[in-house]
Structure 1
Amino acid sequence: MTRLAVATTAQARRYARDLIRDYPGMFRATVGLHVAAAVAGLAGPRLLGDMVQGIHGHVPVRELDHLALAIAGFVVVQAVLIRYAHVASARLGESVLARLREEFVTRVLALPLSTVESAGTGDLLTRTTRDVDALSKCVRFAVPETLISLITLFLVIGALLVVSPVFAAPLLIGAPIIAVGTRWYLRHAPAGYLRQNAAYADVTEGLTETVEGARTVEALGRQRQRVARTDTDLRRSWRAERFTLHLRTVWWPLVEISYVLPMVLTLLTGGWLYLRGSVSLGALTAAVIYVQQLVDPLDRLVGWLDELEVGAAALARLLGVAAGPPPAATPRPEPAGNRMRVCGVRFSYEPGREVLHGIDLVLEPGERLAVVGVSGAGKSTLGRLLAGVHQPTAGSITVGGVPLAALPPERLRAEVALVTQEHHVFIGTLRDNLAMVRPGAQEGEIRAALTAVQALTWADELPNGLSTVVGAGGHPLSPAQAQQVALARVVIADPHTLVLDEATAMLDPRAARDLERSLAAVVSGRTVVAIAHRLFSAHDADRVAVVEAGRIVELGPHDELVAAGGVYAALWDSWQGGAMKKARPEGAPFP
C-alpha cells in the first residue's frame, strides 16, 4: 500500500504565510486590537503601584480615588478591546478555515482514482476527519491564543524594563531554561506528531477493512488474524502517542520552572533593593505584578504551542494530498475522432509483477466489445486502463490520436466513463443525485435517463418522486436501485465511450439483461466495453475479447469464437450449461 504524501515543513510554513498575506486587513485588525488590549492591561499594574506608593506616602484620598477610577477605566477598556479582538480572531480563523477546507476538498477530488486505491481508505479518511478537526482547533483557538500570548509577553517585558531594568534581570535566568527546553521540544515534536497521525491512520485502515469484510473474515475463519492486526496497529499508535506525551512531560515542567523561578527572584531581589532604598514600594509592586502577568501568557503559550504542533502536522498531511509538481501549462491536444487504440500496453501494480502483457486493441466508434475471462485474468485492470483510471507501465492508449494521459480530468470524463460494481448515493434528492454529473440537465433529460435504465417506475413511486431525499438518513434504495442511479448518471453525462465493469452485478440475470439491452439502445453510436462474467453481454456484443493471464488470447464475434472451439467456446459451454440453467426457469428458451 502506498501512503499519501506529506508536505514538508517549509511548504507548510510557506502556505501559512500566503494565507496571512491573502487576508491583510483582517490580520492587521486582529493584531491591532490584541495589541491595544494588551497595552490597556499594562496600565493597571503601574497605576496600582502608584496607589500603593501614594498610600505609603499618605497622599490625599482624592488622588487615590482618581487612581482607582483610572484603574477601573482601563479594566473596562481592556475588556471591550478583548471582546472585539476575539471577534476579529474568530472571523479571521473562520475565513482561513473555510478556505483550507475548500482547497482540501478540491485536492481530494482532483486525486486520480488509482492514487486513492493504492493509498487505501484509512489514510484518506483520517486526513478528512482527524486531521481536519485538529487543524480546525488550531486555526480557531491555537493560532489566536498564541498570537495574544506573544504580544502580551513582549509588552509586559517592555513595561517591566520601563519600571526598572533591574527587575528584568531575573528573567535572564528563566529565559535560557525555556529557550533550551522549547528548542528541544520543537526539534522532536513535528516528526512525533506525524508518526502519531500515520499510526492512527493504520488503525482506521485496519478497522475499516475488518468491518467492510466482516462476512469474508467470518467465512474464512480469520477472526484471530484480524484481531492480531488490530492489536499490532493499536500498539504502534500507543507507542507513537506515548512518545509525544513524553515530550510534553519533559517540556512543560521546564517551562513551569522558567517562569516560577524569575517570579521568586523578583520578590527576593526587589524586597532587598527596597530595604536598601534603591527602589520605591510602588515600583516594586508594579514589577511583581508585571512578572506575575507573565505567567498567564506563558501558560497559554505552552498549552497552545503543543496544539500548534498538532495543527502543523495536520496541515502538512492535508497539503500532502496534492503533493507533486503542478501540471505544466501546455496547450491540450484535441482528439480527432472517437477511435480508441491500445498499442503494446503493459501494466504493473507493483514493480516486477506485470498484470497485463502487451495488449493490442482497436475500438471503433459505436462498437460494442465484451471483455470476458476467468477471475484474475486482468479484465477489470484493462477496463480501468481504457477509462484512464490507471496509466500503462508501457505502451499507449489513445483516443482520436491523443493519449488519455494528456487529457485533463474533466475532458477525460467527457470522453470515457467507467461504471463499476461500486456506487454511491449522495445525501440529497434523487434529482440532485442524477443531475450532479451535468447540473444543467433538464427534467425531461433526467426522466429519459431513468427510463433508459428502467428505473422511472420505481422513481415515480417514491414518496416525493424525484424530490425524495435519498442517501444516508433519507429514503433507502436497494442495491439494484442504487446501481440503476449510477447508470442513469452515465446516460446523462453522455460520454462517447462507456466501460461497464460488472455494472449490472447487483441485478438478477433477467433484469440485468433487460437493463443492458436498454442501455445499449440509449448509447447507440457510442463505444461500449462490457466486462462481465455473465456471457449474455458477449452474446449481444459486436466482438468479444477473451483475456487470459493478462493477454488477449481470442478476439472476434461471438458466433465465430464459439465455432472455433477455443477458450471462449469452453467458457460459453460452461456458462450455458451451469449458471444459465440455474438462472432460468425449467423449459425457458435460451435468450
Structure 2
Amino acid sequence: MSTTETRPDEARAPGPRPRETLRTASGREAARWVGAHCRERPWLSTATVVSTVAGAALQVLPVLLLSRVVDGVVGDEPRSVLATIGVVLVAAALLGAVATAVSTYLIGRLGADLLATLREGAVRSVLGMPSARIEQVGRGDVLSRVGDDVAVLSKGIRMAIPTVFSAGVLVAIATVGMFGLDWRLGLAGAGALPAYALALRWYLPRSAPLYRKQRAAQADRAQALISGLDGIDTVRAYGLEGVFREKVTEKSWRVRDLGIEVFRFFGRFVGRENRAEFIGLVLIIVVGYALLEADAASLGQVSAAPLMFHRLFTPLGAIMFTFDEAQKSGASLTRLVGVLGEDAEDRLVGDAPVARPGAGTEGESGVVGAAAPAPLAVNVEGLTFRYPGTEEPVLRDVGLTIPAGGSLALVGATGAGKTTLAALIAGIGTPEAGSVRIGPTDLADLDEAGARALVSILTQETHVFSGPLADDLRLAAPGATEAELRDALRTVGAEEWAEALPEGLRTRVGEGGERLDVTKVTQIALARLVLGRAPVVVLDESTAEAGSEGAAELERAVLAACAGRTTLFVAHRLTQAMAADRIAVLDAGRVVEQGTHEELVALGGWYARLWRAWRGGSDNATG
C-alpha cells in the first residue's frame, strides 16, 4: 500500500482479495515424513528407541523388586538375599537415571536434526515458489510457517515431544510389569484403559483441528500487521490508523478467544483422564484384596500392584500436561510438511495460467566488466490477468509503452493492479491474455534465466544476507572486483558509509554483524541493481520503508542506479512520479490516464485529485 494509492474521497483499507493458504499436510502424511526421516538415520533412531526402552524398564524394575522384598520379609528369607536385592535396586536406579539421560539427549538430537531438515526444506520450498504464489497466499501465512511454526515445533522438540515419547514407553513397560506381577492384577489395571481410550477418542479428533485453527488465526493476525506496516505512510497521511487498528484488534481477539477455547478444552480432557486413573486404582485394590483373601496371590504382588499402577500417574500426567504443547507442535508439523509438498508449478490454475518462477530480484543478472547493455523498449499489449478463485480480472486489456531508456511511473488507488502489472512486466506470472515484450522478445517465450537477464525487479522487501558486505553485493555479480563494488556503491551514494565500516567491504553485515538501517539496506539493493546491468528495471515501491529524509536520499540513488535503462516505477511518493518521463494512472485494472505530470495535473482528472490528496496528506503528516 502506498501514499499514492488512495484518493481522499475513497480512503479505505485495502480491499479483500480472495486468498488461498499454503498447503497443510494430513497427520498421516506428517507421520510418514517423520518415519522416513528416522529411517535415513538408522543408528541414531535405533539408539534412541533402545535407550528409551531400557530407561523405562529400569524405572519399573525397582517396583518389581519391592514385591520380592516384601515376600522375602514375610517368608523370613536370609538377610544376604535381601541385601542382594537392595544392591540390585540401587544399581537399577543408577542405571535407569543414566539410560533416561542418554535417551533424553538422543531424542533431542534426533529432533533437532529433524527440525533442521524440515526448516531447511520449508525455506527452500518457499524461496522456490513463484512470487505470484506468495502474493496469492499472503506473506502472513508464509512468514507464520517459516517463523512461528518453526519456533513452536522447536519448543515442542525440546520439551513436549521427548516427554511424551519417554512417558509413553514408560506407560507401556509399566503395564507389562503389572501383568508380570499377576495376570489378574494386570487385567484389573487394564480396566482403566477403556476410560483412557474414551478420553483420547474424545480429545484427539477435536484437538488437532482446533490447534490448526489457532495457528491459522495467528497467520491472519500476522498478515494484518504486515499490511498495515507496509503502508504506514498512507495510514498516517490519510488518517487510516483507526481502520487498521480495528482490523489488527479483531484478528488479535480471534487469537485470544481460540487460546481460551484451547485451554478450556484441555481442562475437560484432564478431568476425563483423572476419572480413568480413579477407576484403575479402585479395581486394582479391590481385586488385590480378593486375591489375598483367597490366598491366590502373595502380599508382595498385591502390595506392588497399586504402586506399579501409581507409577503410571507420573508419566500419564506428564503426557497430559505436555500434550497441549505436543498438539501445537503436531499442528505446526503438518503446516511445515505441507509447505514441502507445495507443487509450485500447479498452484495457479483455472482461469489464471500457471505462473512460472519470476525474474531476478535486485539486479541478480548481468556480466560485470562488460559494457552496459543497450536499453530496450517495453511494450504491453492487451494484458489481462486474474487471480485464482476470483471472477473479476485484476488487470483488463492494459496497454503501455516505455521507450528504450525512458521511464514510466504507475500510480493509482489500492487494488488498482499496480503491483500485479509490475510483476508481470518483470516476468513474474503469466498473463491470461495479451503480452509483455522486452525489445523484440516476448517474456512468455523465456525461461527464468532468460527473463532475469532482461529485467531486474526491486521491491520494498529488500534484504541483507548475513556475511561480508562484498559477498552480499556479489549476489548480483559473482565475478565483480572490489573496484567494481565500490563503483556501484558510489553510484548509489553508499561508498562513504561502506568504507567507514570496521573492515570496509569485508565487514560482516546482517544477522550477527553490523546492523544497517533501512536506507543503507536499500542502497545495498540498489548497488546490486547497478552491478546486475539488466536493460530493464522495475521498482515496486523500493523506497517505501525509508523515512522522509532517507527517502529523498534514496530517490536520488534510484535515479542514478537506473540511468540509461528503461525503468518502470510503482510510485510510492508522487515526487517519484514527477521524476519519470511519463505517468500512467490505473483504476480497477485499467489505464485511465497517461501523460507527463504537468499534463495530468492540467487535465483535472484522476491524477490531479491524487496530486491534491498527496499534497494535503503530506502537509498534514509533516505538521
| SS state at 1:368 partner | coil
Match of 2:293 in 1: 275
- Counterpart check, 1:492 vs 2:509: no
Match of 1:586 in 2: none
Q: Could you tell me the percent identity over the aligned residues? A: 30
C-alpha distance in 1, partners of 2:241/2:601? 39
| SS state at 1:317 partner | helix
Distance 1:34 1:406, change over 3 A: farther
Q: Which moved more, 1:289-298 or 1:68-77?
A: 289-298
Q: Which moved more, 1:349-358 or 1:137-146?
A: 349-358
Match of 1:351 in 2: 390
Measured after TM superposition, the shift of residue 41 of structure 1 is 2.7
Measured after TM superposition, the shift of residue 166 of structure 1 is 0.6
Residues 259-294 of structure 1 deviation map (CA, whole Å, 9 limit, x = unaligned): 232123212321232132111112223323322222
Structure 2 gaps of 5+ residues are 1-16, 347-355, 360-372, 616-623
C-alpha distance in 2, partners of 1:423/1:205? 18
Is this contact kept in 2: 1:369–1:545, CA < 8 A? no
Measured after TM superposition, the shift of residue 102 of structure 1 is 1.2
Is this contact kept in 2: 1:26–1:88, CA < 8 A? yes
Measured after TM superposition, the shift of residue 48 of structure 1 is 1.5
Match of 2:153 in 1: 135
Calculate the TM-score normalised by the size of structure 1. 0.80
Is this contact kept in 2: 1:372–1:379, CA < 8 A? no
Measured after TM superposition, the shift of residue 55 of structure 1 is 0.7
Match of 2:447 in 1: 407
Residues 208-238 of structure 1 deviation map (CA, whole Å, 9 limit, x = unaligned): 5555656654554445444443443233223
Distance 1:95 1:504, change over 3 A: closer
Match of 2:83 in 1: 65
Distance 1:215 1:437, change over 3 A: closer
- Counterpart check, 1:29 vs 2:47: yes
Measured after TM superposition, the shift of residue 432 of structure 1 is 3.9
C-alpha distance in 2, partners of 1:26/1:289? 34
Measured after TM superposition, the shift of residue 125 of structure 1 is 3.4
C-alpha distance in 1, partners of 2:184/2:520? 80
Match of 1:588 in 2: none
C-alpha distance in 2, partners of 1:454/1:217? 29
Match of 1:375 in 2: 412
Measured after TM superposition, the shift of residue 439 of structure 1 is 5.0
| Aligned mate of 2:199, from 181, 189, 206 | 181
The 5 A counterparts of 1:25-424 are: 25-210=43-228, 216-217=234-235, 219-321=237-339, 324-325=342-343, 327=345, 342-348=380-386, 351-360=390-399, 367-372=404-409, 374-376=411-413, 380-397=419-436, 403-404=443-444, 407-408=447-448, 412-421=451-460, 423-424=462-463
Structure 1 gaps of 5+ residues are 556-560, 583-591
Match of 1:587 in 2: none
C-alpha distance in 1, partners of 2:122/2:411? 40
Distance 1:254 1:567, change over 3 A: closer
Measured after TM superposition, the shift of residue 425 of structure 1 is 4.3
Measured after TM superposition, the shift of residue 418 of structure 1 is 0.6
Residues 535-572 of structure 1 deviation map (CA, whole Å, 9 limit, x = unaligned): 67655xxxx685665556899xxxxx88xx9869969x
Tell me the amino acid that sits aligned with residue 164 of structure 1: D
Q: Which moved more, 1:383-392 or 1:227-236?
A: 227-236
Match of 2:481 in 1: 442
Is this contact kept in 2: 1:545–1:552, CA < 8 A? no
Tell me the amino acid that sits aligned with residue 563 of structure 2: A
Is this contact kept in 2: 1:453–1:518, CA < 8 A? yes
Is this contact kept in 1: 2:384–2:433, CA < 8 A? yes
Match of 2:351 in 1: none
C-alpha distance in 1, partners of 2:231/2:570? 24
C-alpha distance in 2, partners of 1:280/1:412? 83
Measured after TM superposition, the shift of residue 188 of structure 1 is 0.6
Aligned residues: 553
| Aligned mate of 2:559, from 516, 523, 543 | 516
Measured after TM superposition, the shift of residue 44 of structure 1 is 1.7
Tell me the amino acid that sits aligned with residue 347 of structure 1: F
C-alpha distance in 2, partners of 1:531/1:63? 88
| SS state at 2:313 partner | helix
C-alpha distance in 2, partners of 1:197/1:312? 11
Tell me the amino acid that sits aligned with residue 418 of structure 1: I
Distance 1:87 1:477, change over 3 A: closer
C-alpha distance in 1, partners of 2:551/2:96? 72
C-alpha distance in 2, partners of 1:403/1:316? 37
Tell me the amino acid that sits aligned with residue 254 of structure 1: R
Give the number of the structure whose alpha-carbon radius of gyration is greater: 1
- Counterpart check, 1:7 vs 2:24: yes
Match of 2:469 in 1: 430
Distance 1:342 1:36, change over 3 A: same
Measured after TM superposition, the shift of residue 92 of structure 1 is 0.7
| SS state at 1:29 partner | helix
Residues 142-172 of structure 1 deviation map (CA, whole Å, 9 limit, x = unaligned): 3332222222222222222222111012234
Distance 1:502 1:240, change over 3 A: closer
Residues 3-48 of structure 1 deviation map (CA, whole Å, 9 limit, x = unaligned): 5224131432332222222222211110011112222233222222
Is this contact kept in 2: 1:347–1:354, CA < 8 A? yes
Is this contact kept in 2: 1:138–1:311, CA < 8 A? yes
Distance 1:353 1:76, change over 3 A: same
Is this contact kept in 2: 1:420–1:502, CA < 8 A? yes
Measured after TM superposition, the shift of residue 458 of structure 1 is 4.1
C-alpha distance in 1, partners of 2:484/2:590? 40
C-alpha distance in 1, partners of 2:231/2:410? 25
Measured after TM superposition, the shift of residue 460 of structure 1 is 2.4
Measured after TM superposition, the shift of residue 510 of structure 1 is 9.4
Distance 1:342 1:59, change over 3 A: same
Is this contact kept in 2: 1:454–1:515, CA < 8 A? no
Tell me the amino acid that sits aligned with residue 250 of structure 2: T
C-alpha distance in 2, partners of 1:323/1:476? 35
